[in-house]
Structure 1
């Protein structure tokens, strides 16, 4: 079912992680540990590319703080997923 033109379409924040670019600084996981995790080698990963509601601001801040630019965020409408 499609939303009516007057209904706002909810946005969903997604994260894109370039693990090959990650150098293991861990800044992302310090800022937003609910979204960004570090593996045994200190390389970032996410359990889901969808950011839970309420964590959007922290997830964006953590992505922007990455010294290597290994993380990006993207807003998508719920209909695109």
Structure 2
């Protein structure tokens, strides 16, 4: 599974970081990003939770 953040849509609410802090981080520009696009085994549900709860629908999981 891969995850990415569309930084043109992200407004830095941080909901993804609350749901999956080991996957999503808020950068110095106040936008979310992922350390590694490939989600570690067993962390897929956390990545999906972060995407589902993003108010801007800026997170894509595939």
- TM tier relative to shorter chain: over 0.9
Separation of aligned partners in 2, 1:69 and 1:54? 23
Q: 2:50 aligns with which of 39, 43, 62?
A: 62
From 33, 39, 48, the counterpart of 2:21:
33
Larger Rg: 1
* TM-score, normalised via structure 2 length: 0.93
Which consecutive residues of structure 1, in runs of 5 or more, have no partner in the other structure? 1-12, 75-81
Number of residue pairs the alignment of both structures matches: 62
> Which structure shows the bigger proportion of residues in strand conformation?
1
What TM-score do the two structures reach when normalised by structure 1?
0.73
Structure having greater relative contact order (Cα 8 Å, sep ≥ 6): 2
